Structure 1
Amino acid sequence: MTDYAGVLAFWEGRVVLVRERYEDWVDEQWSLPSGAVEPGETPAEAAVRELLEETGLRVRVDQLRLVAEVVVESRDGASRSTAYNYCAEVRDGDFAIDDPDGSVQEARWFLPAQAVPLVSAVPYPPLSQPVAAFLGGSGPTRWSFTYDDPAVAFLDRVYEVTRSAL
């Protein structure tokens, strides 16, 4: 089980998105800065680290506010992960990408209304739907995505979605 964490970082009314390329995606997509929680890290610590690596932006753990908790699991229970999406205000809007994975191609500021269609296009609903909902004005939410076939779990063929207030 791998957990993930990301940050919707805001500066002067805009939110940062990163343009990334992954093998499972047909083309590059705009998404929130995020990644895997490493051993010994809390999800909040991972979110701070991922934001720094993928954008150069700095926040402290105590500045983060949880806005989405996303559980993705197989119907048979053999596979499960949780993603934690936070939001925070940053003091400086200058980028300095130092992504050790090499997947981030660019970071850019967007008005939330501009960001919604961009993140909605990400072909992985557990990543795209909670982020788009929050940017669209939804409050903090808990999401659960259940799928039948692990071979398609990372595509847009998620079987069942539930959502509730966090």
Structure 2
Amino acid sequence: MTDYAGVLAVREGRVVLVRERYEEWEDEQWSLPSGAVEPGETPAEAAVRELLEETGLRVRVDQLSLVAEVVVESRDGAARSTAYDYRAEVPDGDFAIDDPDSSVQEARWFLPAEAIPLVGAVPYPPLSQPVAAHLEGAGPTRWTFTYDDAAVAFLDRVYEVTRSAL
């Protein structure tokens, strides 16, 4: 399985979310700018790249702080993926979406109270729950989502979840 990275970009008390459309989702959702870690990249480098592609906003690796590490694994251990959620202050910059996947439709700033229900509505708990928890004030956390069958985990959304401090 692929590893992923994303950035909770913050400016003047607001966070940026991107409106995305994926075939597996019934409709568009607002989520954290994120994507796959490419070969030769660190998770932090991937997060910086994904933020730039999906929003046009620029941060440096040294501006990132890890707020959640999310492991998704099959109960039998045959499949495993890790996602790294970072936070970064973004002092300036305008939106300029250049998403090579063409899944991002829009980027917008939200107050955390506005962002929590939007992120919470994402139909993939490993993406939605850690980000919503951080927006609600949780400190850095490690999440593990364990599922019974890799083929149906996303569709059935049947997870056993554990959470601990990083």
Tell whether the structures are fold-level matches, with TM greater than 0.5: yes
Aligned to 1:68: 68
- Provide the rounded CA distance (Å) in 2 between the counterparts of 1:41 and 1:158: 31
Q: Is the 8 A contact 1:21 1:105 kept in 2?
A: yes
- Structure 2 vs 1, CA of residues 71 and 113 (structure 1 numbering), >3 Å: closer, same or farther? same
Aligned to 1:48: 48
Aligned: 1:132 with 2:132? yes
Aligned to 1:147: 147
Percentage of identical aligned residues: 89
Aligned to 2:100: 100
What's the C-alpha RMSD, in Å, of the aligned pairs?
0.9
3-state SS, counterpart of residue 163 of structure 2: strand
Q: Is the 8 A contact 1:125 1:158 kept in 2?
A: no
Residue by residue, what CA displacement relative to the aligned partner does 1:77-97 show, whole Å, maximum 9, x if unpaired? 111000000000002141000
Residue by residue, what CA displacement relative to the aligned partner does 1:55-89 show, whole Å, maximum 9, x if unpaired? 00000000000000000000111110000000000
Q: Is the 8 A contact 2:58 2:93 kept in 1?
A: no
Aligned to 2:3: 3
Runs of 4+ residues over 2 Å off in structure 1? none
- Provide the rounded CA distance (Å) in 1 between the counterparts of 2:116 and 2:81: 24
Letter in 1 for 2:15: V
How far does residue 155 in structure 1 lie from its aligned partner after superposition? 3.6
Residue by residue, what CA displacement relative to the aligned partner does 1:8-27 show, whole Å, maximum 9, x if unpaired? 00011100000000011000
- Provide the rounded CA distance (Å) in 1 between the counterparts of 2:158 and 2:143: 13
- Provide the rounded CA distance (Å) in 1 between the counterparts of 2:50 and 2:29: 17
How far does residue 149 in structure 1 lie from its aligned partner after superposition? 1.7
Aligned to 1:79: 79
Aligned to 1:25: 25
Residue by residue, what CA displacement relative to the aligned partner does 1:1-40 show, whole Å, maximum 9, x if unpaired? 3100000000111000000000110000000000000000
